[in-house]
A and B are shown apart, each in its own frame.
Chain A
Amino acid sequence: MYNDKNAQTIVDYIQNFTRKNSLFMLAYGTGCGAIELPATLTSRYDAERLGVRGAATPRQADLLLITGYLSTKTLKRVIRVYEQMQDPKYVIGFGSCTINGGMYWDSYNTIKLLDKYIPVDVYINGCMPRPESVISGFQELKRLIAAGKADGAKKYKENLEWYRENQKKVLKNWPLVEYNW
C-alpha cells in the first residue's frame, strides 16, 4: 500500500473509513419512495446496523435521498437543502423516476434526469425499490466512499455554472444563490 502511487494516503483512508460508517440521512421524503424508508429503518431490515440513520436538519445530514419523482416546485427546495448540507455530502437517486423520468416521462411538472441538476453518487432503480435494494444502494455508496470515489459535492463546486445553467432552464423566475467557494 505504501509503494502504490494511486493508493489513498493513510489520512484519507481513515477519513473515508469513518465517513462511510456513519451516514446520517436527511429525513426529507421528496416523493413516494419515502414509504419504504420506515420499513428499511425498522426492525426487519434495520439499516441502522449499517450505520445509516435519520437526521432532522440538512446541516446535520450527510446523505440526501431523492425518493422518487421530483416536481419542479420541490426541485427548488431540494437545491436549497443540498446547498445547506455540509461536506461530506452524498446523494442517492431512489427509484426509476430519478433515472429517466420513469412512468412520469411525459409529465410537465417532474424533472426526468436528476444528475443534470444535482450530482448523484448512486442510483437505485425500481418502482418502488425494495428495502433490500435500498440497503444494497447504501452498501454501494459505502464502497464508493471507501474508495474515495463519492465526490459528487466536489463536482458540484467545480462545475457550479453548468449546474446553475441547467437549473435555471427549469426554474425560470426563482432566485438561486450565488456562491464563491
Chain B
Amino acid sequence: MREKSTTLYLGPQHPGITGNMMVKLQLEGDTIVKATTHVGYLHRAFEKLIERRNWMQSTTILCRFCVPEPDPPEAAFALAVEQIEGREVPERGKYLRSLVLELARIQSFMLWYAGQNGSAGLYTVGQWSVGDRNYVLDLFEELTGGRIYHMYIWPGGVRRDIPEGFEDKVLHTMDYIEKRIDDYDRMMFDSAIFQKRAQGVGIISKEKAMEWGVVGAPLRGCGIGHDVRKDNPYDAYDKLDFQMGIFDGGDVWARAKVRQFEIRQSISMVRQIIQNLPKGDYLNKMPNPMKWTIPAGSAYGKVESVRGEFGFHVVSDGSDKPRRVHARGPAYAHGISLLEDILVGENLADVSFIMNSLGVCPPEIER
C-alpha cells in the first residue's frame, strides 16, 4: 500500500470554523500530521486606530475586539487606565461592572453550548441556548442600549445606573436560565455521541499547560486552578463567593465540565451582586471627556473572560491620545501555537470540535 498525504485547507469559508480563519492540514487518511494556522482575515488595525482616537473615543472601538464577549476588553482597558491614572472606582460602579461581566459570561457560555454541540452534530442544544441567550441580551439592551456592543464600562466606573425594576428582571431571567441549563446538560452530557466524541480528544498535557500559555477554562480543565478573578481580584470579585471549576484530563470533556460548572457559578454570582448592590455613586466622573489626558505611564490590566485571561497593555505618553494599546486575548495563545500542536494526531472531523472547546476567536488574534 502506498502512503499518501493530502493537503486540505479548512476555512476561511467553512461552517465549522469558529470565525474567519484558516487551518491548513496535512492529512494521512483521516489523521492530521501537520496543522498550520493562517490568520489575518479580520485585521482591522484597531491598535493603529486607537492611536488616532482620544481616550474616550477608543472605548467604542474596544468592545469590537471580541465579538462573542464584548465586555471583558472594555473592563481590561478601564482597569489599565485606572492603574495609570490612580482613579478610584465607586463601590456601586464596581458591583455593576461585575454584574455586566458575569452576564456577558453567561451569554458567552450559551453561545459556546451552541458551538460545541453544533460541531458534534447535536443541533437541538444550539437552537435552545441561542434562543434563550436573547433573554440575557434583552437585559443588556435595557441596561446599556445595545444587544451586542455595550460601551458600558468606562474608566472610572460605568456609564449609567441600572433602570428601575431591573433587579427583578435579572433575577427572573437567572431563574429561567438555571432551569434551562439542566435541559442542555441532559441533552449534551448524557448523550452517548457527545461522550464518545469528547473523551480523550484534544488533550493538553498538564505539564506543558502553563508553559504553552494556556489560560481560562482549558487550563482549569488540565487540573491547574488559575483564574484572574481569584489570583488578582478586580472590581467586586474579592467580595463575592465563588469557586473555580477544576477538572482533570485536559481533553474536550474536561473543558466542557469546567464550563458546565462555571455557568452555574456565574448565575450564583449575579444573584449575590443583586442582593449586595451598594448604594451611592456609579461613576467617578472624568473632567471633560474630549480633553481628558492621562499621565505618562504604562500598565497591564487583565480580566477573566470565558475563554481565559484577557489583558491590555496600555502605554500613555501624557497626551490626550493613547500611545499604544496592545491586546492579549486568550485566543492568541490558544488559536495559533497550541492549536497547531494539539491537532497533530487527531481526526479531521474533530478539528472544529476542538477549536470550539478551546474558544478560538479570530477577531482578537489579529484585531
Contacts and interface: CB of A to CB of B under 8 A. Distances in A.
Interface string B51-91: 01000000011001001100000000000000000000000
Given A73-B43, A74-B12, A128 B127 contact: no
Interface string A49-92: 00000101010000000000101011001000100000000000
Contacts, number: 88
A108 B130 CA distance: 34
Contacts of A58: 13
Chain B, interface size: which category?
A: 20 to 34
Nearest to B40: A73
Interface string A111-130: 00000000000000001101
B128 interface: yes
A107 interface: yes
Interface residues of A, number: 34
B20 A39 contact: no
Contact of A69 (B15, B44, B127): B44
Interface core residue of B40, B44, B60 (most chain A CB under 10 Å)? B44
B19 A29 contact: yes
Contact of B49 (A38, A71, A107): A107
A42 B42 CA distance: 25
A71 B149 contact: no
B130 A39 contact: yes
Contacts of B137: 39
B45 interface: yes
A77 B67 contact: no
Nearest to A77: B12
A69 B61 CA distance: 13
Given A71-B44, A73-B41, A77-B13, A42 B127 contact: yes
A161 B160 CA distance: 52
A70 B99 CA distance: 33
Contact of A38 (B40, B45, B61, B114): B114
B132 to A, nearest CB: 8
Interface centre among A35, A77, A108 (most CB of B within 10 A): A35
A30 to B, nearest CB: 6
B131 A43 contact: yes
A100 interface: no
Nearest to B13: A28
B344 interface: no
A86 to B, nearest CB: 15
Nearest to B64: A32
Contacts of A12: none
A77 B64 CA distance: 22
Contacts of B64: 32, 103
A107 B19 contact: no
A43 B61 contact: no
Contacts of B41: 30, 71, 73-74, 77
Q: Which 3 A-B pairs have the closest CB atoms?
A: A43-B131, A32-B67, A42-B130
Interface of B: 12-13, 15, 19-20, 40-45, 48-49, 52, 60-61, 64, 67-68, 111, 114, 126-128, 130-131, 133-134, 137, 147-149, 363
24 contacts: A28-B13, A29-B19, A32-B42, A32-B64, A32-B67, A34-B19, A34-B20, A35-B148, A38-B111, A38-B126, A43-B127, A44-B131, A71-B40, A71-B41, A71-B44, A73-B41, A74-B12, A74-B41, A74-B42, A104-B49, A106-B49, A107-B44, A109-B44, A110-B45
Given A39-B130, A69-B42, A77-B12, 20 more contacts: A27-B13, A28-B13, A32-B42, A32-B67, A39-B133, A42-B126, A42-B131, A43-B130, A71-B44, A73-B40, A73-B43, A74-B12, A104-B44, A106-B49, A107-B45, A107-B48, A108-B45, A109-B44, A128-B147, A128-B148
